[in-house]
Amino acid sequence: MSGADLAVDFVMHLLRETEAVQEGHFLLSSGRHSNRYVQCARLLQFPDKAAAALKPVADAIRADMRAGKLALDVVVGPAMGGIIVAYELGRQLGIPALFTERDDAGKMTFRRGFAVSEGQRVLIAEDVVTTGKSSGETAAVLEALGAKVAALACVVDRRAYAEEAAPQLPRWPMYPAVRVEAANWDAADCDLCKKGIPPVKPGSRKVF
């Protein structure tokens, strides 16, 4: 087994150990439905486990930076899920960590005095990526300020199993700790809804 495979197995162990992987019927923040939900907050509440889970991501990014394939000035995480991930990756990579958040109208923006400069190269950091909606909204904020999105990093990548919902991805190089397979239905086509099983919404973001 390769070192990369061992790292993936270890991260999956951490997710299971902290009961972050949940089975059921879930309404995702994208508005889509799934039979599996990864509540990364259960993992990220433990600083040592968060650091361990994100170390392979930071190592891969650092290797590409040394090879001249990637350059970064700052990491930005969409609130809420991306805040701790951005902080930890910023700590391990030695670059500042900021976050975007929604205003009262639900629009993603910078607040609290955070800002980026024109030409700065940004790593967007998420906990879980499914459709990439939060990443795309954060990218729009960054690009409007003249910054350049250089890559996207996350703990869990579900994107590969929702390509029909996110044809715009990948827009950037992707650095996930693990990929987790899960069903991803439009609400009108949800198998679990057809069985009469009501969904629950475990995330923190409103569905817009």
Q: How far apart, in whole angstroms, are the C-alpha atoms of residue 174 and residue 172? A: 6
pLDDT at 82: 96
pLDDT at 162: 44
Q: How many helices (H) and strands (E) does the chain have?
A: 6, 8
pTM (two decimals): 0.85
Q: Which two tokens stand for residue 119?
A: 């030409």
Where do the domains of the chain lie, and which CATH numbers do they carry? 3-194 (3.40.50.2020)
pLDDT at 58: 98
For residue 7, the 8-state DSSP code is H
Q: Flag residues of the chain having pLDDT under 50.
A: 1, 161-168, 207-208
